[in-house]
Amino acid sequence: MDRLIKKNLNKRLHFTTNIDLSVQKADVVFITVGTPIRSNGDIDIGYVESAAYKIANNLNGYKIIVLKSTVPVGTAKHIYRIIQSKSRVTEFDLVSNPEFLREGSAVHDCLYMDRLVIGASNKIASRRLEQLYQSFYFKEVIHTNFETAEMIKYASNTFLATKISFINGIARICDQVGADVEMVAKGMGLDDRIGKKFLKAGIGFGGSCLPKDTKALIRIAETNGYDFSLLKAVIKTNLEQYKYIIEKLLLATREIEVKTIGILGLTFKPNTNDLRNAPSIPIIKKLLKLGFVIKAYDPVSIKEVKRKFSHESNISFFCDIYKTIDKCDVCMILTEWDEIRRIDLKRMLQLLNYPIIVDGRNIFDINKMESFGFSYYPIGRGQPTLGM
């Protein structure tokens, strides 16, 4: 991102706080504002609405307005009506064009899309937007109406969440029956109809999108008279995963006296500093409640996470893995950062008081860990866990 911004700044890329001028000068206006979730699962579209009012006030000729924010089904139509009723200029088109990029690989996902989804009320606007994306790579383009485009976004994210909760459920059984979830996922994924992605068992999905969109779609279903019980179970399974890893830790340490736990990785996934809905947060809170002392490592999010735990005295933070685990009794892995994958296992063995690793992301080979002399506890790889 930095490189791209530097390359284009003040040439093809300009930043401004002047909304009026930027709308007036544009042929195409993208709405990309946030859509926070309320406690009842409703999505707050207030920022989208206020963007629509600002655009309406500044329409000075034909423009295409592109709604990129993730919004409940029906929002595009609502926004169209706002602009239509508030603007003096009547020549405009609105297009619903959801984004599918992931945090941490946003530039790549933006330039190389699996699909381009364009929901529009007329074909001309639809084709014009497709033209705008001509220099991007996309396998296929879907031209459809507003509602279908909006639903594709929710259905995609919640299906990914469903895959994760499904494999986490399978992992729970694998532990009990002596099966290996990694091999099960591989065996399933080789079937093209299933696909191998998003079948990585672990401590559950976090971030600002999957948890929010799952709750929002349950709410959208509810307001349309449908009880989406499948998605409710997806959320329940997801919440259970962080309790499960704590059970694993308690099982792994039942015969020893444990005080200090090293936590490796805090963000909801690698290559981002985002802690929103990161499973590490409830896990750490619970461990502190249980009376443990925590030494936590993350390569990028220490500044943010310190603020979250500023009132806690039994937790300290590190940007160096080896300083983190030094004199810890045992350690837990909560995010699969490359820095953790590449850890010097011999050194780790020397620094930990007990050679016990509870791995919430299944990043190591079981046999290798055993040959080093570790007691290694991954998820769903055939180790029965108490209390299931």
Start-to-end CA distance of the chain, whole Å, equals: 44
Q: How far is the CB of 208 from ligand UGA (least distance, A)?
A: 6
Residue placing its CB nearer to ligand UGA in the complex, 102 or 232: 102
Question: Nearer Cβ to ligand UGA, position 100 or 322?
Answer: 100
Residue 143 exposure: Cα atoms within 13 Å on the Cβ side: 11
Q: Shortest distance, CB of residue 104 to ligand UGA, whole angstroms?
A: 6
Containing H/E element for 66? strand 63-67
Q: At 327, list the tokens.
A: 């004199």
Alpha helices (H) in 290-342, listed in sequence order: 302-308, 321-325, 338-341
| Nearest CB to ligand UGA, comparing residues 56 and 245 | 245
Residue 274 Cβ vs ligand UGA, minimum distance, rounded to whole Å: 8
What order of strands is seen across the sheet that includes strand 63-67?
28-31, 63-67, 92-96, 112-120, 137-144
Nearer to ligand UGA, 195 or 384 (CB): 195
Q: How far is the CB of 99 from ligand UGA (least distance, A)?
A: 6
Whether 107 and 1 have beta carbons less than 8 Å apart is answered as yes
Side-by-side strand order, sheet with 293-297: 315-318, 293-297, 260-264, 330-333, 356-359, 375-377
- Catalog residues that contact ligand UGA under the rule CB under 6 A: 70, 99-103, 157, 160, 164, 198-200, 202, 205-207, 209-210, 268-269
CB atoms within 10 A of CB 341: 12
Strand partners, 140: 115
CA 224 to CA 217: how far, in whole Å? Answer: 10
Question: 63 vs 381, which CB is nearer to ligand UGA?
Answer: 381
DSSP letter for 101, please: P
Locate 337 and state its tokens.
């950062």
User: Which residue number, 268 or 297, has a Cβ lying nearer to ligand UGA?
Assistant: 268
Taking CA atoms, 249 is separated from 34, 174, 329, 348, in Å, by 37, 17, 12, 18
Q: Toward ligand UGA, which CB reaches closer, 207 or 380?
A: 207
Q: Which of 174, 209, 328, 331 is catalytic?
A: 209
Task: Tell me, rounded to whole angstroms, the distance of Cα 143 from its chain centroid.
Answer: 27
- Maximal C-alpha separation, the chain: 75
What is the nearest approach in angstroms of ligand UGA to the Cβ of residue 163?
7
Tokens of 172: 């729970």
209 is catalytic: yes
- Could you tell me if 175 and 388 are in contact, meaning their C-beta atoms sit under 8 angstroms apart? yes
Rounded to a whole number of angstroms, the minimum distance from the CB of residue 44 to ligand UGA is: 16
Q: How far is the CB of 168 from ligand UGA (least distance, A)?
A: 8
**Residue 214 structure tokens:** 């799952």
Q: Which residues are catalytic?
A: 209
